[in-house]
């Protein structure tokens, strides 16, 4: 296969936005490799509304949001291959992929954009005891079956984990005639967006059991029920609190993991907190010319932020192809402290930075009436009060470039959550 300037691994929201932005930035040699039979990624199965309020100022469903970008990809004449699995990315940016028609092939690239998205944490990783019958689904797998294939995985459902997909599926299964018994969440707070608790659970009187988890699964062949118990402060089940819930399906929505097998084998340095690559202000990983964006970088709550971030990655990739890597002053490190768990990016070079620096992060616990603070070395420059800061939602701070340049000899930017 011919070579491309930019090969984008993944044709979901991140890959599409990156491709469009790279093209608009002037690059004409872009290839998107997508493993499914259509572009759009996970958005195609997210048929609920709530996407695009930031980007398009209107509320779209997943397929509608995806189509806005797919239409642009088609209009701009960007190349893509469907049903194509990327098998390997070499450190020299040769991408190996495979499909039925072309067989296995390599594409030499000048820049690679990682946009593989994420996957769901499986049951095994949770060490839930009990049987291993049919009827245990991750919420996303169930969502694909119901929304794309049109099959109902069950009639009586318990959902473990209150991630957004689980909440959305609680409503979706209810709409399709199933009975959702409850959503159990091991943490004392929900992992999903507040609006989803209101419109997916409260609207249909589906109980949300915080600080509860599944301690046993009954049924040898098909799930027959689960036992749910309350957990203590150390997330250990409290004896005597067990309650049996009859169900034929246990759906899991217990977290998403960036899908970085390809990044790892390419030798990209990883952040153990996000399970995503370490990137600089240009979304460039530790390998020059390899960029990362979207959920493969860190799990987002809103697709709008994915698109925004991916567009930047696309622009930077195009600039990299056009100009090579620009000589830049020593990097400033960005660190998360206190309640903040991580930051994206991890480093900033002032020479490459545009007018604004957006730092995204997540917190490790729920904070009420707390402050998001930013320190440039020891000087606090941001102290912003928030009514609620929760792990389920991504936070961001935006700094102006002048702020950074005017702070002489800046070595480190710290993002932290302070209670006063």
Instruction: Report, in Å, the least distance between residue 73 CB and another protein.
Output: 14
* Residue 385 found at the interface with another protein (CB under 8 A): no
Question: Which range of residues in 121-129, 289-297, 323-331, 345-353 is near another protein by CB under 8 A?
Answer: 121-129
129 lies in the site for another protein, by CB under 8 A: yes
The yes or no reply on residue 301 touching another protein (CB under 8 A) is yes
User: Which residues lie closer than 8 Å to 175 by C-beta, 6 or more apart?
Assistant: none
Any idea what DSSP says for residue 349? Answer: -
CB of 212 to another protein, least distance (A): 15
Residue 244 · residue 215 · CB < 8 Å: no
If one asks whether residue 133 binds another protein (CB under 8 A), the answer comes out as yes
Q: Is 234 helix (H, G, I), strand (E, B) or coil?
A: coil
Supply φ then ψ for residue 262, to 5 degrees.
Answer: -65, -40
Nearer to another protein, 97 or 318 (CB): 97
- Residue 328, interface with another protein (CB under 8 A)? no
Chain centroid to CA 348: how far? 22
Closer CB to another protein, 217 or 319, in the complex: 217
The answer to whether residue 104 forms part of the interface with another protein (CB under 8 A) is yes
Exactly one of 20, 146, 186, 293 binds another protein (CB under 8 A); which one? 146
State the burial class of residue 186 (Cβ atoms within 10 Å of its Cβ: 0-12, 13-18, 19+).
buried
Map tokens 């689904």 to a residue. 137
Q: Verify binding: residue 11, another protein, rule CB under 8 A.
A: no
Nearest alpha-carbon partner for 117 in 261, 268, 283: 261
Q: Which residue in the set 15, 41, 237, 289 belongs to the binding site for another protein (CB under 8 A)?
A: 237
Only segment of 4-12, 152-160, 281-289, 351-359 that touches another protein (CB under 8 A): 152-160
Tell whether residue 403 is a contact of another protein (CB under 8 A).
no
Stretches 16-24, 128-136, 335-343, 373-381: which one binds another protein (CB under 8 A)?
A: 128-136
Prior bond of 345 cis (ω within 30°): yes
**For residues 301 and 171, what is the distance between their CA atoms, to the nearest angstrom?**
18
In the bound state with another protein, the residue whose beta carbon lies nearer, of 75 and 102, is: 102
Contact mark string toward another protein, 266..285, x via CB under 8 A: --------------------
Beta carbon of residue 353, minimum distance to another protein (angstroms, whole number): 27
**Which range of residues in 74-82, 141-149, 181-189, 328-336 is near another protein by CB under 8 A?**
141-149
Say if residue 134 is exposed, middle or buried (CB neighbours under 10 Å; 0-12, 13-18, 19+).
Answer: middle
Token digits for 330? 């020593």
Dig out the tokens for 28 from the structure: 């004409």
What is the nearest approach in angstroms of another protein to the Cβ of residue 103? 4
C-alpha span between 372 and 418 (Å, rounded) = 6
Q: Rounded CA gap, 107 and 86, in Å?
A: 10
Stretch that binds another protein, among 12-20, 175-183, 287-295, 323-331 (CB under 8 A): 175-183
Instruction: By CB under 8 A, tell whether 231 contacts another protein.
Output: no
Backbone angles phi, psi at 312, to 5 degrees: -65, -45
Site for another protein in 43-102 (CB under 8 A): 44, 47-50, 53, 59-61, 63-64, 67, 83, 85, 87, 96, 98-102
Distances (CA, A) of 71 to 14, 39, 65, 74, 116: 15, 10, 10, 5, 20
């Amino acid at each position: 296969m011919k070579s491309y300037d930019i090969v984008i691994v993944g044709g979901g929201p991140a890959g599409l936005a990156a491709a469009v932005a790279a093209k608009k930035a002037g690059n004409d040699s872009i290839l998107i490799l997508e493993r499914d039979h259509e572009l759009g990624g996970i958005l195609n199965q997210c048929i609920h509304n709530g996407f695009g309020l930031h980007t398009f100022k209107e509320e779209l469903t997943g397929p509608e949001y995806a189509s806005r970008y797919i239409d642009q990809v088609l209009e701009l004449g960007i190349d893509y291959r469907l049903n194509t699995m990327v098998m390997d990315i070499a450190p020299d940016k040769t991408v190996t992929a495979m499909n039925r028609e072309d067989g296995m092939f390599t594409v030499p690239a000048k820049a690679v954009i990682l946009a593989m998205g994420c996957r769901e944490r499986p049951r095994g990783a949770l060490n839930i005891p009990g049987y291993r019958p049919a009827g245990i689904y991750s919420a996303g797998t169930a969502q694909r079956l119901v929304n794309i294939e049109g099959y109902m995985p069950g009639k009586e459902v318990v959902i473990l984990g209150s991630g957004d997909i689980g909440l959305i599926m609680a409503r979706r299964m209810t709409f399709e005639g199933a009975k959702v018994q409850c959503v159990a969440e091991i943490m004392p707070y929900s992992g999903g967006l507040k609006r989803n608790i209101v419109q997916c659970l409260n609207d249909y009187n589906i109980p949300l059991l915080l600080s509860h988890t599944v301690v046993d699964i009954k049924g040898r062949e098909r799930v027959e029920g689960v036992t749910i118990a309350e957990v203590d402060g150390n997330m250990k089940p409290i004896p005597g609190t067990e309650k049996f819930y009859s169900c034929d399906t246990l759906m899991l929505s217990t977290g998403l993991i960036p899908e970085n097998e390809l990044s790892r084998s390419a030798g990209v340095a990883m952040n153990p907190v996000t399970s995503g690559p370490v990137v600089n202000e240009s979304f460039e990983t530790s390998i020059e010319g390899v960029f990362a964006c979207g959920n493969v970088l860190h799990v987002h709550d809103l697709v709008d932020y994915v698109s925004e971030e991916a567009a930047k990655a696309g622009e930077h990739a195009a600039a990299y192809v056009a100009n090579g890597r620009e000589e830049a002053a020593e990097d400033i490190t960005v660190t998360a402290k206190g309640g903040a768990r991580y930051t994206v990016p991890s480093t900033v070079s002032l020479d490459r930075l545009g007018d604004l620096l957006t730092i995204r992060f997540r917190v490790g616990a729920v904070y009420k009436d707390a402050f998001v603070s930013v320190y440039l070395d020891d000087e606090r420059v941001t102290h912003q009060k928030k009514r609620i800061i929760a792990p389920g939602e991504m936070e961001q701070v935006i700094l102006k470039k002048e702020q950074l340049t005017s702070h002489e000899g800046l070595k480190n930017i710290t993002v932290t959550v302070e209670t006063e």
